[in-house]
Amino acid sequence: MAVHRLSRQYICTQGAPVIHSVDAAIFSLRYFAKCMACDFCDDQCCSYGVDIDLGNVIRLAALGEEFRSRVPASRDEWFTAEAIEDPEFPSGRYVRTRTKDGRCVFRNPEGRGCLIHGYALDKGIDYHDLKPIVSTLFPATFDYGVLCVSSEVHDRSLACSGSGPTVYEGARDELRYYFGVDFIAELDALSVANLPNG
């Protein structure tokens, strides 16, 4: 697939990442997308943990006991110990959420979805302030300034890959939140241009 250079760089509302190009595969590869309506994957995408910015880690720690008590793992089991430097994350560093019993420690053990997301909704907090950007955009992702599709969709190891809306359509609202309406206008135009026979 082609990688299209955008008309300008788009900076995430959190300060990073900065997107300068888009892989056209985002406009053609498909996945189920309606996660809370899914009854077949058992939150497979939560099996491996996820990269999380250190800023998010600090904000989660500040929530105190009310949040901690919802997580079925002790606080020292939440994240990998060593921070990785990466300018594509808002703080410039990230760790990874750990897994326990084959699931991210923040996966809701009594239902569906992410405990971080659920807590934010319960408390009227914007989940973007707490939840990793990598989780929120999945299966869209970013790599060295290129908006692209996660490998699990390319290799079809993601249980819901193959049918449904395109990765772009599924992630469009989140991309608008992080990168703004001008970014979406440019991607909408590229989406049309990349339709079959477009």
**Segment 79-89, tens digit of pLDDT:** 998 999 999 99
Structure tokens at 107: 């996966």
* pLDDT for residue 191: 93
CA dist list (Å): 96 to 26, 56, 77: 25, 11, 11
Backbone Cα Rg of the chain: 17
Task: Give residue-wise pLDDT tens across range 155-194.
Answer: 765 554 556 789 999 999 999 999 999 999 999 999 998 7
CA 42 to chain CA mean position, Å:
18
Distance CA 113, CA 177 (A): 20
Q: For all residues of the chain together, what is the average pLDDT?
A: 87
d(CA 26, CA 90): 23
Q: What is the DSSP letter of 76?
A: G
Look at residue 38 and tell me whether its pLDDT is greater than 60: no
For residue 44, is pLDDT > 60?
no
Give the mean pLDDT of 125-133: 96
